[in-house]
Each structure stands twice: as C-alpha cells, then as structure tokens.
Amino acid sequence: MDNEHSGSPPFWRSPAGLTLLVAAAVGGFLLFTEHRAHVLGVVPYALLLACPLMHMFMHHGHHHGARGDGRAERTDDERPGK
C-alpha cells in the first residue's frame, strides 16, 4: 500500500509519530547526560574490540589466493624462471 495514494501521512509525520520522536529524543538526551561517564568509559574498549572483529569480517570475502584443490595460486612474481 502506497502512502502517497492512500491520503494519510506516514506514521512519523502524524501527531502521534511526532510525539513519539520528540519523547525518544528527550529520553535519549537525558539518558546520555546522566550516564555519560559510563558510555564514554566504554569507548576505548569498544575500539579495541572493533579491531579483531573488523579483521575477521574484512578478510571473510577473499581466501588469500587458495584454490579449491588446496594449492595456492602463484602470481607472476613467484613463478620459477622469472
């Protein structure tokens, strides 16, 4: 169902949606200001945890030159006689 043809605005533009967005923004601001020391104290550990996670997920797509038969594919620089 397309909201443009139905005549009713999307939920986030309705009065109830705007009220919910404002309440969530105010609540998020108050939570952050009250717990800023806890949130900012975790940042160094989150960065350290992000390093191995990014390494695992970034190297997932390529298999370091391995072919299906278990032999690694040689590049032109590694071939004998060059």
pLDDT confidence bin for 19, thresholds 50/70/90: very high
pLDDT at residue 11 greater than cutoff 80: yes
Q: Percent of the chain, pLDDT > 90?
A: 37
- Name which residue leads in pLDDT, 81 or 17: 17
At 55 the pLDDT is: 86
Question: What does pLDDT average to over the chain?
Answer: 79
- Encode the chain in three state secondary structure: CCHHHHCCCCHHHCHHHHHHHHHHHHHHHHHHHHCHHHHHHHHHHHHHHHHHHHHHHHCCCCCCCECCCCCECCCHHHCCCC
